[in-house]
Structure 1
Amino acid sequence: MKETVYPSAVQGRIVAPASKSYAQRALAAALLVPVSDNPAGWSELRNMGLCNDTSAALDAVRRLGAEIRYGENRGTYYVEGGFLRRRPQELNIGESGLSARLFTPLAAQSPEPVTVTGHGSILKRPVASAMAEPLRRLGASVSFSGDGFLPLTVSGPLRGGTVEVDGSLSSQFITGLLMASPLSAEDTHLAVRRPKSVPYLAMTLEVLHAFGISAAHAADYTEFVIPGRQRYRAAVYNIEGDWSGASCLLVAGAVASLPGGEGVTVDNLNPGSLQADRAIVEALTRAGVPMDFCGRVLTVRRTEVLRAFEFDATDCPDLFPALAALAAFCGGTTVLRGTTRLTHKESDRAATIAAEFAKLGVEVDLSQADVMAVRGLTAPDGKLRVRDTSLDSHNDHRIAMATAVAALRADRAVVIDGAEAVNKSYPEFWNDLKNICLK
């Protein structure tokens, strides 16, 4: 699928998509509520949008025993637990890295083998090798091909115990262990080396608490103690708006709205959210972007001059594409740190940003270790000088969104190939973007 993006000013009001990170965690927690707890075994999940990743998680919880009913209100789902009421031989988690690392430890609680697989880019990401040894130490049987990729087959159950986990590349497997370990016969002690994306671990603990699970942890998230033989409790849970999906729309307001105009307003953003990508507000502030927060409504306006800034995105790597789009219009060179977190995303995201933004006339320097330096706009008319009108998402949803936003201030239209990649996290992105473009 191709999308043509024409130079345009933006203005208007939209609603942030639901957080897929919270939705996948809440679905897993609702699955783990014992079916014997009926009639209190049904959880109510509100404001849950269906992107590809959330749909994959929904399919996984069904296969693992949950019953699903759809509420009358849009986005409301009723989930009856009953973990392992059904014994699937296979779980297909699509292209979702979180679901791969979340549902593998859950599947490892099954006494019968379960194969976790997917399709597309997830099969090129070495997610299996990092999970195998910790799961074995906790009592699971694990097998996978020698290259470290999915598919991976596990069986258990996990017994608990003490295990060390590398947290330097992703927090998602730790999330899976945190959610599976309360079902183990013994307590589980997790020692985490070099934890990254710590806000996502805080999100997991928040969801666990909402569903009645306790877990102790060190202040720096390097140690966790999860008591065994716990019981999940059904809950009414509101899925908050997604700061990751909203980040590009906020940048659109910062760089492409009318100077002195109404800007872009995004609803359903929790200012106190534990989502790591709430840090986009700090980046916008450093760039000098005018903003107004009223409750859960954030309005971003454009100012005539944006300033280059420094920002460490180690704990929020999904912001890199949006940050590059913002930096493209800031005077001077913006320095973004944390690029080592980008290698095993849907694309080699740092290299992809450099390649695709170069087509828009934006210089992105990756010569320094763990650093992305973006040289801001120098054209006197405030427009990017497009060198190649054919852009490619590289099947990466965040690349598709960020290049579209940057192209709003280009000197001519561009065509983005692979535009359907946005379905992974934000299926309504193209409609929302068109609705705020001024005709």
Structure 2
Amino acid sequence: VAGCSFFTVLSGDPSLQQRPMDRVIEPLRQMGAYIDGRHNGTRAPLVIRGGKLQGINYSLPVPSAQLKSAILLAGLQAEGETVLMEPVVSRDHTERMLQAMGADLQLEEKVIRLRQGNELKPQEFYVPGDISSAAFFIVGASLVPGSEIILRDVGINPTRTGLITVLQQMGALIQIENKRMISGEPVADLLVRYAPLHEIELGGELIPLLIDEIPVLAIAMAAAEGDSMICEARELRVKETDRIQAICDNLSALGILVQEYADGFRVRGTGGKIKGGRVDSRGDHRLAMAMGIAGLVAKDGVQLSHAEVVNVSYPDFWTDLSRLAGTGDFF
């Protein structure tokens, strides 16, 4: 709406109102948008007065598909050329969609160029299964002895499959079957079997490819053999909650040795012997679902506060988890 000629208020839910929006607002203001809100105009509710936008050259300060998408969508309404430079490649669903609709968008190595002008053509898109939602069951099946599940029609866009790569490096048995392209996106069925996992250290260009899966990856690390570490993931501190702190606090509550760093954490693996305990989602849907997966393998079970927050992205999560685990209702 930054380039539209009307007045808009974007409120967001309580979790979004806690997230700093300055990294999105700053480039939009550079393009000519008027945006104001709480905390010096960086927190929702946000007031937006649409106006004429100009294309900009902008280097993304962090690899963020959300930030990239916001600038590209604004660039559709901006005069001239919008050029984005990425420090590391991030999710590219928006670029694929815009190209399919006929946008004047060119991709170079870590550089995206977009020009206003081409009329976007309506398309029918098939949206594949979300790998970020599938991630919880991929990890769950990898951790529970005797497990074997098939997840059908899952999107395997290479900018989203970092979790599969990492779990396979840890020893997970994940087969990618029936690969095909649908609406410009790669799709496949995933066959996952139980396997003992071992430690791993992660950072660099892998992090943007699994940033939303790190909460459940932390559970895999806690159940693995050896010490695992994640670094260069400071972006986690500006999600629905401070995910680095929340992950570390909840792992500690489950009896796991964990050390928190500014940009990540280190986990002492238990070899599948997670003790269990009382944890809190802190209003973060992904953390809640990760704790649910921990409950599958925790000796003393997991008691989760604010489990209902999964409704943000996956309302049927607890039902599906109970069905796969062959148990009654969770939590």
TM-score bin, normalised by smaller chain: 0.7 to 0.9
Count of residue correspondences: 314
Shift of 1:169: 6.4
Q: Does 1:335 align with 2:223?
A: no
Q: Does 1:199 align with 2:93?
A: no
Name the amino acid aligned to 2:296: L
Work out whether residues 314 and 341 of structure 1, in 8 Å CA contact, stay in contact via their aligned partners in 2.
no
Q: CA offsets, 1:222-261, max 9 Å, x none? A: xx32111221111011101111111111000000142xxx
Tell me how far apart the structure 2 counterparts of residues 188 and 116 of structure 1 sit (CA, whole Å): 27
Distance 1:270 1:169, change over 3 A: closer
Aligned equivalent of 1:134: 27
Tell me how far apart the structure 1 counterparts of residues 211 and 283 of structure 2 sit (CA, whole Å): 17
Shift of 1:294: 1.8
Distance 1:190 1:153, change over 3 A: farther
Distance 1:231 1:257, change over 3 A: farther
What secondary structure does 1:216 align onto? strand
Tell me how far apart the structure 1 counterparts of residues 176 and 132 of structure 2 sit (CA, whole Å): 17
Distance 1:371 1:144, change over 3 A: closer
Aligned equivalent of 1:159: 53
Aligned equivalent of 1:219: 109
Identity of aligned residues (%): 26
List alignment gaps of at least 5 residues for structure 1: 1-106
Name the amino acid aligned to 2:198: R
Tell me how far apart the structure 2 counterparts of residues 158 and 195 of structure 1 sit (CA, whole Å): 28
Q: Does 1:437 align with 2:313?
A: no
What secondary structure does 2:104 align onto? coil
Aligned equivalent of 1:425: 313
List alignment gaps of at least 5 residues for structure 2: 179-187
Aligned equivalent of 1:308: 199
Shift of 1:402: 0.9
What secondary structure does 1:195 align onto? coil
Q: CA offsets, 1:352-391, max 9 Å, x none? A: 1111111111122114x4232111015xxx43223xx322
Equivalent residues in 2 for 1:39-438, closer than 5 Å: 107-127=1-21, 129-147=22-40, 148-168=42-62, 170-184=64-78, 186-192=79-85, 195-196=87-88, 198-200=89-91, 202-221=92-111, 224-258=112-146, 263-271=148-156, 273-276=157-160, 278-295=161-178, 296-303=188-195, 305-312=196-203, 313-315=206-208, 316-367=210-261, 369-377=262-270, 382-386=272-276, 389-438=277-326
Shift of 1:396: 0.6
Q: CA offsets, 1:181-239, max 9 Å, x none? A: 2233x2232344x635x332x22110101222121243123xx3211122111101110
Tell me how far apart the structure 2 counterparts of residues 116 and 152 of structure 1 sit (CA, whole Å): 5
Aligned equivalent of 1:74: none
Work out whether residues 241 and 268 of structure 1, in 8 Å CA contact, stay in contact via their aligned partners in 2.
yes
Name the amino acid aligned to 2:97: V
Work out whether residues 104 and 116 of structure 2, in 8 Å CA contact, stay in contact via their aligned partners in 1.
no
Work out whether residues 257 and 264 of structure 1, in 8 Å CA contact, stay in contact via their aligned partners in 2.
no
Work out whether residues 134 and 165 of structure 1, in 8 Å CA contact, stay in contact via their aligned partners in 2.
no
Shift of 1:412: 1.9
What secondary structure does 1:365 align onto? strand
Name the amino acid aligned to 1:438: G
Structure exhibiting the larger radius of gyration computed from Cα positions: 1
What secondary structure does 1:366 align onto? strand
Return the TM-score normalized by structure 1.
Answer: 0.67
Distance 1:150 1:169, change over 3 A: farther
Distance 1:323 1:348, change over 3 A: same
Q: CA offsets, 1:139-174, max 9 Å, x none? A: 222323344211222223333232435431633132
What secondary structure does 1:268 align onto? strand
Name the amino acid aligned to 1:385: K
Tell me how far apart the structure 2 counterparts of residues 137 and 355 of structure 1 sit (CA, whole Å): 38
Name the amino acid aligned to 1:263: E
Shift of 1:334: 0.9
Q: CA RMSD in A?
A: 2.0
Work out whether residues 167 and 174 of structure 1, in 8 Å CA contact, stay in contact via their aligned partners in 2.
no
Work out whether residues 289 and 302 of structure 1, in 8 Å CA contact, stay in contact via their aligned partners in 2.
yes
Tell me how far apart the structure 1 counterparts of residues 90 and 292 of structure 2 sit (CA, whole Å): 28
